Amino acid sequence: MIPEVFAGIDVGSENVTCVIAEVTEDGLMRVTGAGRAPTGGSVREGVIVDLQGASQAVSRAVEEAESLSSWKVTEAVVSVSGCHVRGFPGRGTVNVRRENDYMAGKVTREDIEAAIETAEMVNLPRESMVIRTERCGYTVDDSDILRNPPLGLRADRLTADIYMVTADRTAVLNIQQAVHDAGMRVTALYPAASAASRSVLTVDEREMGVVLLDIGCGTTDIAVYFSGALAHLSVVPVGGETVTRALQQLRIPRNEAERLKREHVNLVAAPRVRNEEVEVATFGGRGAVSVSLETVNQMVYKSVAGIMSAVRGELKNAGLEEISVTAGMVLTGGGSGLRGIAEAASRIIGLPVEIGRPSGVDVSSPLVESAGFAVAVGLVLMAAGDEMEKERMVGENPLARFTDGIRALFRKLR
């Protein structure tokens, strides 16, 4: 039996990450390869600005993942991020065909799809396109919201609640072109925040209410879940680079600022480092200066406060400032690697804050367990989940099932 194989490519501002995974016979997702390559400035705030550079980064990340895996990547699901990515709710209602004058009809799959299509009937700007539609719940007549499709229930009316995520069409086309130029086909596009949520958040957190922040280099992707459904998704133009630029105000080069972040920043150690200093190289390597670790931590704390302020402002503008998020906030992404950032963020925003790392897969490399791979791991999990949903949809149609099986076989043999 040929296993189902999925590849996820996360095109970030600082790095492109790739994960290759296969579904085992017992239904588990096993990561067989992972790779990462710097973008070299070809991606800014989630948007490709140098097509050749981005394509080369994709190639290097995929090649590294392939070197650890037994599979060759010819197609992949890809993330989309950037401030052009936005989400909004939708609702569609259809009448269910009555069985007779005295008895309501049964909800069919066609009724459900018609309600979804009605909810999706919105006028988008020409430059925008829908990249993801989340099905949030259903209402039959005047019932409470149902999470699962109400197939077979009798009703006069069916309402579907959805959450649609849109992105700039040109930005998406450039991502697809970069992957195509690297020799692969894009089979699906997913919002980076949705993918990170899939690999990091638990079912309980989504039910209780939670805010997820995927802190990248140039952007922070926000996803809010409430009562198990996506309530908000957006991107703000601040991230780890904000911290780096703040540290460069010490008149030090970027590589030294990055080293300070990795080796010396500790946002919960300020009282213990009051008199400690560290040497850093100056511009051009022409000398070194001593800087106070207390000053460094204070500068980074202010930058983290700026990121949290941008997030709070985004939630306020979306009308979600008062939403009950009992599970608090979960940070992931490369920017969540700052020591003490969870404690600092909790003090700033007034919520319990934890660091989230990828889960739900059997990993072959500790590299995949880092928060920087949350989106890439989430991509393969979402792709596998959508494939399972598709199989359920055609499960009652033998011809469709046979056709899908043949297509899957040819995909593996290419």
Sequence-distant (6+) residues with CB within 8 A of 397 are none
φ and ψ of 324, to 5 deg: -80, 110
Q: Mean pLDDT, to the nearest integer, of 173-184?
A: 97
pLDDT of residue 408 exceeding 80: no
CATH code where residue 144 lies: 3.30.1490.110
* Percent of the chain with pLDDT strictly greater than 70: 91
Residue 155 has pLDDT above 80, yes or no: yes
In a domain, 306, yes or no: no
Q: What is the rounded average pLDDT of the residues 66-85?
A: 94
* Residue among 164, 188, 27 nearest 87 (CA): 164
Taking the alpha carbons of 129, 414, 179, 362 in that order, is the dihedral positive or negative?
positive
DSSP notation for 118-158? HHT-----TTEEEEEEEEEEEEETTPPPBSS--TT-EESEE
The answer to whether residue 120 is domain-embedded is yes
Mean pLDDT of the chain: 89
Of the candidate ranges 1-5, 192-196, 361-365, 400-404, the one whose mean pLDDT is the lowest = 400-404
Q: Can you tell me the distance from the alpha carbon of 68 to that of 22, in angstroms, rounded to the nearest whole number? A: 13
Q: CA–CA separation, 254 vs 98, rounded Å? A: 68
Q: How far is CA 247 from the centre of its chain?
A: 28
391 confidence band (pLDDT: 50, 70, 90): confident
At 318, the pLDDT band (50, 70, 90 cuts) reads: confident
245 pLDDT band (50/70/90 cuts)? Answer: very high
Residue 165 has what pLDDT? 97
pLDDT at position 361: 85
- Which DSSP symbol is given to 199? H
Taking the C-alpha atoms of residue 230 and residue 161, their distance in angstroms, rounded to an integer, is 11
141 within a domain of the structure (yes/no): yes
Alpha-carbon gap, residue 202 to 211, rounded angstroms: 12
Band of the pLDDT at 270, cuts 50, 70, 90?
A: low
Q: Is the pLDDT of residue 411 over 50?
A: no
Task: Tell me the three state secondary structure of residue 1.
Answer: coil
**pTM (two decimals):** 0.89
The amino acid at 293: L
- The pLDDT tens digits for 118-140 are 999 988 888 999 999 999 999 99
Q: 19-59: per-residue pLDDT in tens?
A: 999 988 887 888 999 999 999 999 999 999 999 999 999 99
Per-residue pLDDT, averaged over 76-88, amounts to: 96
**What is the reported pLDDT for 359?**
87
Give the pairing type, strands 75-80 and 185-191.
parallel
118 is a domain residue:
yes
What's the pLDDT score for residue 409? 47
pLDDT band of residue 413 (cuts 50, 70, 90) is: very low
What pLDDT, on a 0 to 100 scale, did the predictor assign at position 1?
A: 45
Q: Is 76 helix (H, G, I), strand (E, B) or coil?
A: strand
Count of beta carbons in the 10 Å neighbourhood of residue 232: 22
Q: CA-to-CA distance for 20 and 365, rounded, in angstroms?
A: 11
Q: Is the pLDDT of residue 382 over 90?
A: yes
pLDDT at residue number 410: 46
CA distance 229 to 332: 20
State how many domains the chain has.
1
Identify any residues that bridge with 235 across adjacent strands, giving them in sequence order.
221
pLDDT of residue 274: 66
State which residues form the domain around 119: 86-166
Which residues neighbour 381 within 8 Å (Cβ) at sequence distance 6 or greater?
29, 195, 198, 199, 360, 361
Asked if residue 379 belongs to a domain, the reply is no
Structural domain contains residue 387 = no
Question: How far apart, in whole angstroms, are the C-alpha atoms of residue 212 and residue 234?
Answer: 11
Question: Residue 173: inside a domain, yes or no?
Answer: no
pLDDT confidence of residue 251: 87
- Higher-pLDDT residue of 392 and 21 is 21
Instruction: Extract the tokens encoding 373.
Output: 């791979």
| pLDDT class of 282 with cuts at 50, 70, 90 | confident
Q: Which of 197, 189, 177 is nearest to 130 (CA)?
A: 189
Q: Higher-confidence residue: 180 or 295?
A: 180
Decide if 108 is inside a domain: yes
What three-state secondary structure class fits 236? strand
Classify each residue of 364-402 as buried b or exposed e, where b means 16 or more C-beta atoms within 10 Å of its C-beta. bbebbbbbbbbbbbbbbbbbbeebeeeeeeeeeeeeeee
Q: How far is CA 326 from the centre of its chain?
A: 21
Percent of the chain with pLDDT over 90: 66
Type and span of the H or E element at 206: helix 203-208
The more confident residue out of 286 and 72 is: 72
Task: Please provide the size of the chain in residues.
Answer: 414
What's the token pair of residue 318?
Answer: 């979306």
Tokens describing residue 82: 């950037």
